[in-house]
Amino acid sequence: MSGGVLPPCFFGFFMDCIFINLDEARDRRVALETNFKRFCPASWRLTRFPALTPHVQQVRDMGGALRPAEKACFASHRQIVRNVADHGAPVLVLEDDAVFGPRSAQMIEQSVASSDYDLLFLNIGLNRVSGMVEIFQIVQKLKQEGRVFLRNVVDLPFFGASSYVISPQGFRPLAEALSAYPHPADPYDFFLRRLILSQALRGRVLLPFPMSVSAQSDMSFVQTDEKQRIDHVWNLFRRILWVDGEVEGCRRDLAALETHLTPEAKACATIWATMAQAPFRQGS
């Protein structure tokens, strides 16, 4: 299915959900488990995977130019994929900054039965204005029509692997690709993007995003301080545009960003926003 109207949700669907969490990040664990219990049906199961650290042997054995924390993140995802490689049903892999909302489970249940994907991302980051504008326009239309859409990500410069579903047909090729690269050169999300770009995997993103990332995602254990600052900007877009997103809760952060904008930047932002909301076409 590439799109459809949300049906009544019976919450009888079983979903195995596995989240990655460092032992010392207890606050994140509690926040995610509480959020999951509040919004996900009893037929879903949440399991914690203790995140691997740069000190464990399998991470220390990884070559390549990635920073130790990035290697540990990559190794954690890789181990989960190996653990579920023979699973006969979709599996939802989460990082501990993932956030569910009132409509998340319904949207996910509706969409995971599709055979049109190997990886189904439930939220992604975009680092180009053109990509943000396109997704904004699609999401606004889908919300008006009460539909969902599985958008191919092969041409999107996306990042992030905070919440994604592996389909039964996706387990094997993903596991094989991970085994073929014991010393990865890219962070895990970029590695997935490269596999999708080469058509080794079929990647889709569910729109509107059924999940988001918490404010804790701006305080990453993996990223540098400068990268955290940049991610904060991109993550605001993810928090506003998901199915249960709203601008009001982000006004303080948006106001703080605006103080650093020049008058020209503010003027251009207004022009771009107008064009995004009411698309302009050459010759119209």
What is the Cα–Cα distance from 94 to 225, expressed in whole angstroms? 23
**Class of the domain covering 13-246:** alpha beta
Under the banding of pLDDT at 50, 70 and 90, the label for residue 279 is: low
Contact 161, 122 (CB under 8 A): no
In this predicted structure, the answer to whether residue 9 has a pLDDT above a threshold of 50 is no
Does 255 or 161 have the greater pLDDT score? 161
In this predicted structure, the answer to whether residue 148 has a pLDDT above a threshold of 70 is yes
What is the Cα–Cα distance from 209 to 135, expressed in whole angstroms? 10
Does 1 or 115 have the greater pLDDT score? 115
Least confident of 15-24, 189-198, 269-278: 269-278
Question: What pLDDT shows up at residue 119?
Answer: 98
What is the Cα–Cα distance from 45 to 32, expressed in whole angstroms? 13
Q: pTM here?
A: 0.88
- The average pLDDT across 97-103 equals 96
In this predicted structure, the answer to whether residue 191 has a pLDDT above a threshold of 70 is yes
Question: What pLDDT shows up at residue 64?
Answer: 87
